[in-house]
Amino acid sequence: MTIIAGVTQAAPLRARAVSDGVEDVVAEAWGVFAEVQELVRLGIEVAVHVRPGEIQADLVVRREAAHLLPALVAELEHSGITSTPSGYRIAGTMCQGNVALRIIVDSAEVTVEQVEALVAAADIDFGVLAAGAEIPGRAA
């Protein structure tokens, strides 16, 4: 992989270095593309956004993968769940906080039991918190 040094006045940016860097990123993206296709086959749509200093992954979980929700949420650090007009959104981090992950679930895709397990797996229920409840384990 080509590494482009920081731009300074002593080292002008070369177009070839930039195009090599773009080619390397696109080459790496093909591996991600293959993994995303496999997850779609299993019932999970994935969108990964990589920006300077940030990796954001969004998962949309379909009915055939809904049973995996509690295990997925259990993998998250600092997770929280909130309700949306069409279902639920769970947010948290993974990879020692280096990746922000959002899991989106349409309420029509999950059973009541799966939602209960999902809520139990999250660290904080933001809907309950907004209603004035205290966060368990945190001093007032």
Average of per-residue pLDDT values in the chain: 80
CA 132 to chain centre: 27
pLDDT at 37: 93
Calpha distance 61→59 (Å, rounded): 6
Torsions phi, psi of 117, nearest 5? -65, -35
Calpha distance 50→99 (Å, rounded): 10
Torsions phi, psi of 76, nearest 5? -80, 150
Binning pLDDT at 50, 70 and 90, where does residue 45 land? very high
pTM above 0.85, yes or no: no
- Each residue's pLDDT tens digit, 49-100: 888 888 899 999 998 988 888 888 888 888 888 888 888 888 899 888 888 9
Q: Which of 78, 68, 83, 45 is nearest to 117 (CA)?
A: 68
Q: What percent of the chain has pLDDT over 90?
A: 13
Calpha distance 134→130 (Å, rounded): 9
